[in-house]
Chains A and B, each alone.
Chain A
Amino acid sequence: MIAALIRFELRRLRRERILWWFFGVVVCLFIASIVLGMVRHNRQATAQSDLQRLVRQQWVSQPDRHPHRVAHYGSFAFRPPDPLSLIEPGAEAHAGTMVYLEAHRRNPVVASDTAQQGSLMRFGELSVALILQIFVPLFLILLAFGSIARERETRTWELVISQGVSPRVVVMAKGLAVFIVALLVATLALVVASAFALWHADSAAPDVAARLVTLWVAYVVFFAICSFGAVALSFFASTARAALIALLALWIASGMVLPRMAAFAAEKLYPAPSRAELDLALAESLRQIGDSHNPSDPYFARLKERYLARHEVERVEELPINFGGIVMREAETLTSQVYHQHYERLFATWREQEKLVRAISLWSPFIAIKAVSAALAATDTGSYAGFQQQAEAHRYDIIQRLNELHAHRIHWHNDRAQRLDRSLWRQFPAFHYQYPSPTRALHDVRDAASGLVVWLILVMGLIWLVPNRWEQLR
């Protein structure tokens, strides 16, 4: 029975010319987004790995140098794009791509697309995600808005119901018909997109296949919400036009307006320090800690006493190690801690903001799917903060290795005039970006994922509200 109803509904949909038109446009946009995204993704990935290689090349071909000289020469970390950013660019364009790593300072990550692109960035990017999150739901609305309301207007509804079929079953069947179309679209779109994503995937990116399958599941749930929700609304609306207007209003409100309002609310309720505030706070904290350049600074004076006592000598010149290097090492630890505290606080604020946005997803499945898909594609804020932390850890590591060399291989006497052999630079690790783990990402957005499930249950509940017997209809 249900199968016959679904077949019947699908036949009706096939005859709608405007739907084919719309479908054609969406397919064209999809192809354009894949092709353009591909070109850009590959260029970005190549550019980033080329630059990382160039920087490594420059590092190892340094001449004989004093280790502290090398620490000031520093290095760069470049953020490679995740293969799945082709499908869900998420925060990609708003996130910096490069950071300069040097002694004493933690520099901001810079060179994001937005900083180059200007105002157009506000309109959003053409991407598979835009199509799946905005256009496909609209397509489903167009499929579903008239499914029952129109039959009622053309009086075929009574004809169906008088056959003795339960209205609830009819609504369910029509919902399933729309959902089948959605399932096909989601599967096709993700299979094609995945083929491209996997084709050029960086082998270091973990579990691309598993993430893609999870992504598919998330989109199927999201489309189920759209399909069944739209058909249910078509049943409860008085006319097809009322159903269409209500669905369009919902689509715009929850797909376009609410995410922006959520972002604004998050920024207001959990304000992140501005660059000016952060820089000022950093400057003040850095002034508080011991000053390695001040011979009478109490912290470093104590450090000196400790070292002299440990080695049972009178003067720093007599120490078996270079006390200058020790001071550099201690100072780096202190300043790094200050930067760490301030940046971790910033990242914690980001997490609070995102949590609030995801909480608002209980009012909008659009926000939920965006959060889940960005987390799976590793283009969420958490992944970006992860890059910053990795780059900082790398910076700290190489600077402290250099300070160790300074302490052990450079003599106190005539410190600055000495140089270390160039062969040493090869022994330093290169920066390798560790892609974030997908399980971490999913764990982060479990609230949004459960939000999707809640929405599915709600929508199914809406269909359950449809009377089971036609006598119960108004």
Chain B
Amino acid sequence: MKAVLRRLHCEFRHAARSRAVVMALVLVVVAGAVAAHLGAADVADTQRDLAALDGEIDAQELKLRSVHRADADVGLIGYFLTFPTKHEPSPWAALSAGVSSAFPYSQHLRLLGLVPQLDSEATGSPGIASLGRFDLSFVIVFLVPLLIIALAHDIATRDDELGIGSLVAAQPLSTFQLVVERLFAVGILLAGVIGLLVGLAAAIAGVKFDHTLATWLGLALLYAAFWLVAVLAVVAGSKTSISALLRLIGLWITLCIVVPAVLNAIVLTFFPLPGGVLATVEQRQFMNAGWDKAKAATMEPFLARRTEYADVSIPQERFSWPWYYAMHEVGDQQVAEQIASHRAQLERRAQTLERLSALAPPIALQLAFDRLARTDMLTYLRHGDSIAAYHEELKGFFYPLIFAEAKLHSLRFTDIPRHHYSPPKTGTIPGFLALSIVAATGILGLGIPWFRRRLNRSSIHHDD
């Protein structure tokens, strides 16, 4: 045991002597801290922007009351009003941005048809978005494996290349044992780096030290373990440090770039989702057709759903607000199936991607981080649902007033429902994703007896 510790100590000294290694370790930790700081600043900006929305309905009230007479119809006021929605980011969003840059945290909802308002676009530059996002999850998913590769690609071949191969071979220690001990040393070093990285980032981002942090840390360590086993597999089959390095870089590109890019291309190519756009175009057609039809053609399908207004009489020959809102709702209703199926397809696609992520641990880890940070696709789909629910809630508030032909003076703006979406905590470990990394590590681990034979045989050859 003492001998093992002494050898581990030697390994650390070896790593510490290389200026490049020390610099790379420091750079990665600094990069992670900077990413966390900038991410936290982003979340703070978002919270500030959301807080600024608080007075918006009051400001509208002031304006509307000054412009319109007190006996103006609530229907007319509802036409002008906009209702800001709020999606409160989780503090973890600072560490894994996910798809958050594609979706706005807020939009100004109107009481009119919902379908044209379902899509809203963030205001960031698409060119900047295409360069990729620099956050803690990028550092862990992309850069930590590179550190492992840099530190460990030569663990089996280093001694020969330094010319002390026979000296090491003379030790009462098999090559496999030596390689595993060195890998263990790299593992300890990396665990320290990851712990420091995640701890520091968590402190900077101001997240609670709870089980989410533990999950985050556990996933990162699991991912590092996968790469350590991968290194073992590659060095067992490589004769020189350079060839081991080339193969490991090849593996890194394959898992971190090629597989995700190919998957992305396949999903985009073979599973297109044109339904959303078409439904928006059709909704406009259905909704506007109401103007050219008899009022009853709009009111019948509307009242079939909302029986509570069945006894309200609607003027047949002239414009009326109840009819106007009914027309918008009926327009939405006519594409409701399409919208629902589009929504289901989006969810299915997100789930399919999750399943496919088993093909490459980097994708699984990224998706797991996004989910923990609540910046994943499913969170945004639910955000969309909450907006639809809010729209319904608004109608529930305004319809009784509009159908009773209430006037502006009786409208209490403070009673208008407000929107606030705070994505629910998942809390649990994203099971499938973690499992797929474990499985990938396990499958590679099955080769260990073979790696052992390879490594030990190569040292016997050396003795010859």
Chain A residues with a Cβ under 8 A of chain B = 18, 22, 29, 32-33, 36-37, 39-40, 43, 47, 51, 54-55, 58, 63, 65, 69, 72-74, 76, 89-98, 100, 107-126, 130, 134-135, 138, 142, 146, 240-241, 244-245, 248-249, 252, 256-257, 259-264, 266-268, 271-280, 283-284, 287, 291, 293-294, 297, 346, 349-350, 353-354, 357, 370, 374, 380-381, 384, 416
Question: Can you list 19 A-B pairs, Cβ within 8 angstroms, ordered by A?
Answer: A33-B265, A40-B268, A91-B125, A92-B126, A100-B284, A116-B273, A117-B264, A119-B99, A125-B268, A126-B262, A138-B253, A241-B241, A248-B249, A252-B146, A275-B104, A280-B52, A283-B82, A353-B128, A374-B127
Quick check: B104 and A113 within 8 Å, CB to CB?
Answer: no
- Enumerate the 8 nearest inter-chain pairs by beta-carbon distance, A residue then B residue, closest first: A275-B104, A123-B260, A118-B377, A381-B127, A276-B106, A94-B126, A91-B126, A110-B119
- Chain B binding surface, main DSSP class: helix
CB-CB under 8 A from B362, the residues of chain A are: 123
Encoded as 1 (CB less than 8 Å from any A CB) or 0, chain B from 51 to 66 comes to: 0110010011001000
A18 to B245 CA separation, bound complex (whole angstroms): 12
B50 and A263: CB pair below 8 A? no
From the candidates A117, A276, A287, A353, name the one contacting B125 in the complex (CB within 8 A). Answer: A353
Chain B residues with CB under 8 Å of A122's CB are: 98-99, 132-133, 366
A32, A130, A267 interface centre (most CB from chain B within 10 Å): A267
Residue of B nearest to A260 (CB): B134
How many angstroms from the CA of A97 to the CA of B280 in the assembled complex? 13
Q: Assess the B126–A112 pair: CB atoms within 8 A.
A: yes
Q: Which residues of the other chain, B, contact A37 by a CB distance below 8 angstroms? A: 265
A32 vs B245: C-alpha distance when bound (angstroms): 27
Given A18-B246, A124-B261, A260-B134, decide whether A268 and B59 contact each other with a Cβ distance below 8 A.
no
- The chain B residue sitting closest to A367, CB to CB, is B131
Given contacts A117-B349, A119-B99, A384-B127, 16 further A-B contacts (CB under 8 A): A22-B250, A32-B265, A36-B268, A39-B269, A51-B277, A63-B292, A96-B121, A97-B277, A263-B129, A267-B124, A273-B123, A274-B122, A274-B123, A291-B67, A357-B128, A374-B127
Q: Which single residue of chain A is at the shortest CB-CB distance from B240?
A: A241
Chain A residue at minimal CB-CB distance from B149: A248
Contact with A along B234-277 (1 / 0, CB 8 A): 00000001110110011001001110111111111100111011
Q: Tell me whether B25 is interfacial, beta carbon within 8 Å.
A: no
Nearest-Cβ distance from residue A413 to partner chain B, whole angstroms: 16
Query: A276 and B127: CB pair below 8 A?
Result: no
Task: Report the bound CA distance from A109 to B265 in whole Å.
Answer: 23
CB pair B82 A118 closer than 8 Å: no
- Chain B residues near A275: list those with CB within 8 A: 104-107, 120-123
Count, chain B residues at interface, CB 8 A:
98
| A350, B125: Cβ atoms closer than 8 Å | yes
Say yes or no: B103 contacts A115, CB within 8 Å. Answer: yes
Q: Which B residues are within 8 Å of any A CB, using their own CB?
A: 20, 24, 31, 35, 38, 41, 45-46, 49-50, 52-53, 56, 59-60, 63, 67-68, 82, 84, 98-99, 102-108, 116, 119-134, 138, 142-143, 146, 150, 161, 241-243, 245-246, 249-250, 253, 256-258, 260-269, 272-274, 276-278, 280-281, 284-285, 288, 291-292, 319, 346, 349-350, 353, 362-363, 366-367, 370, 376-377
Name the distance in Å between A136's Cβ and chain B's nearest Cβ: 13
Q: Are B349 and A262 in contact, with the CB atoms below 8 A? A: no
Q: How far is the CA of A308 from the CA of B83 in the complex (A)?
A: 39
- Which one, B49, B128, B243, contacts A267 given CB within 8 A? B128
The minimal Cβ–Cβ distance linking B287 to chain A, given in whole angstroms, is 9
Q: Are B265 and A126 in contact (CB under 8 A)?
A: yes
Q: State which of A36, A47, A74 has its C-beta within 8 Å of the C-beta of B265.
A: A36
